[in-house]
Amino acid sequence: MTGQVMPLSEHCATVYFPVVPLADVTIRYLELVSRAAFRARRADRGGLTFARVPQPMPELNRFFYAAIGGEWFWLERRPWTLAQWREYLANPDVETWVLSDDGIPAGYCELQKYPSGDVELMYFGLLDACIGKGLGAHLLTAAVERAWELGAVRVVVNTCNLDHPKALANYLGRGFREYRVDVQRKEVPSTPPGPWDGALDR
């Protein structure tokens, strides 16, 4: 075959590119502007701990991101390399907190503080086995209280129609209010990716 060029049509005949359909994604931006508006809600049970991860641990954040977000189309960070995770978590204004139930990790949140005084709840969620136990409101309450401790003048978060269907109600229930809505056309797979590649293959 030396010196011969395979026609482009033949060369590409066995290359398949998955078609990812486009969908309208409604993104809701929420804010909590005062402690007076905040409505805390905690689980009425013992054994729950909310602890900060004391040093950057990209493997842990990657685990929670994929394990939780794999159910709800969290896609942006799935291709991140270890170096990208390390760079993100090296920011001293980014904190990771883990909620545990009797010593077993149940969920996590990432908080980022900005020079403006805003503290953003970057990612927040529970592992699937821990949903439905009243832990979502508890975790959100703990996360917002940590944001106040960081000196937040405003706590912000966004959610969309690809997140857990009860996420918006949890935010509104704690006193957040909607200040902006965007509708973006995005590529969205027909099914969630799952916690790792191939996890949902039958």
> Quick one: tokens of 46?
């013992």
- Band (pLDDT 50/70/90 cuts) for residue 16 is very low
Specify whether the CB–CB gap between 110 and 99 falls below 8 A: no
* Dihedrals phi, psi of 138, to nearest 5 degrees: -65, -45
> Which pLDDT value is given to residue 168?
94
pLDDT digits (tens, 9 = 90+) for 47-76: 999 999 999 999 999 999 999 988 887 888
Taking CA atoms, 143 is separated from 14, 47, 98, 122, 161, in Å, by 50, 18, 10, 11, 22
> Which pLDDT value is given to residue 86?
97
Taking CA atoms, 127 is separated from 7, 55, 133, 153, 164, in Å, by 50, 22, 11, 30, 12
Domains (range + CATH), the chain: 19-187 (3.40.630.30)
Q: How far is Cα 100 from Cα 107, in angstroms, rounded to an integer?
A: 7
Specify whether the CB–CB gap between 112 and 155 falls below 8 A: no
Closest CA to 97 of 135, 60, 137, 43: 60
> Which pLDDT value is given to residue 161?
86
